[in-house]
Amino acid sequence: MRKLVLLAAFAAGLALALHFSKRPKGEGDLYAKSVLGKKGPKLVVEKWIHGPPPTEGKFVLVDFWAAWCPPCRQTIPELNRIAKKFADRLVVIGISGESESAVKNFRNPRIEYYVGIDPQERMARELEVRAIPYVILMDPQGIVRWEGNPLVPSRRLSEAVIEQILRGERGDGSAPGEG
C-alpha cells in the first residue's frame, strides 16, 4: 500500500512539473498572489528544525516545499548551492506544511539550509500559494524582489538571477535577458 501511495504522489508531482513546464510565458505562471515590489509576509513558522535563521540585514529566500513533491526535491540542490555561495548576504529558508517527523525524516536530497514547519501554512495562505515549489526572495527591508516557481522556464531561479538581485540590478522577477 505504501508503494502505491508513493507512486501516486510521484505521478501527481510529475504531472504538476509537466504542467508548469508547458505553460506559456507570463500566462499565470506565478500560482500565487503577486507581491513583487511590495512588502513580503512576516516570516512565520510553528517550529524551526535546526534553530532560527539569522535574517537581520540579509536577503531572505523562502521556499515553500513538501517532502512528497518531486519538483520540490528537484529545487533543493540548486537552493543548497545558492545558500552556500551567498551565505554572507542571503539566508535560504524552506517552509513545509508537513509534520515535524515528515520533515526530519526527509533525507534525499539533503537540505543544507534552514527549515521550518508550519502545518497551519500561514505564510503560504497569505500569499495564496496554489502550487509548490514556490519561492519569494525579499531584500533586507522585506521587499519582494523575486517570486514564482523556480522551475518554470520563463522564471527560472538561478545563481545568476540571485547575483543580479543582490547587486540591485533587477527586482522584477523576470529571467535573464528579459525586460
Supply the CATH number for residue 122's domain: 3.40.30.10
Task: Give pLDDT, residue 172.
Answer: 53
The answer as to whether 25 is a domain residue is: yes
Q: Regarding beta strands 47-48 and 114-117, do their DSSP bridges make them parallel or antiparallel, or are they unpaired?
A: antiparallel
Q: 48 pLDDT band (50/70/90 cuts)?
A: very high
Q: Is the pLDDT of residue 11 over 90?
A: no
Closest by CA to 108, choosing from 64, 65, 77, is 77
Total domains in the chain come to: 1
Which structural domain range is residue 57 located in? 2-166
Closest by CA to 141, choosing from 44, 43, 40, 53, is 40
Task: Give pLDDT, residue 8.
Answer: 44
Q: Which of 28-32, 48-52, 80-84 tops mean pLDDT?
A: 80-84
pTM of the model: 0.80
The answer as to whether 69 is a domain residue is: yes
The answer as to whether 178 is a domain residue is: no
Q: Is the pLDDT of residue 84 over 80?
A: yes
The answer as to whether 173 is a domain residue is: no
The answer as to whether 171 is a domain residue is: no
Q: 176 pLDDT band (50/70/90 cuts)?
A: very low
Give burial (CB, 10 Å; 0-12/13-18/19+) of 24. Answer: exposed
Closest by CA to 91, choosing from 121, 61, 70, 119, is 61
pLDDT digits (tens, 9 = 90+) for 147-175: 999 998 887 899 999 999 999 976 554 44
Which residue bears the cell 508503494? 3
Helix then strand then coil, in percent of the chain rounded to 5, is: 35, 20, 50
pLDDT digits (tens, 9 = 90+) for 119-133: 999 999 999 999 999
Average pLDDT over residues 17-30: 44
Q: What DSSP character marks residue 36?
A: B
CB 66 within 8 A of CB 129: no
* Alpha carbons 93 and 113: distance in angstroms, whole number: 6
DSSP count for the chain of H helices, then E strands:
5, 6
The answer as to whether 49 is a domain residue is: yes
The answer as to whether 174 is a domain residue is: no
Q: Is the pLDDT of residue 142 over 70?
A: yes
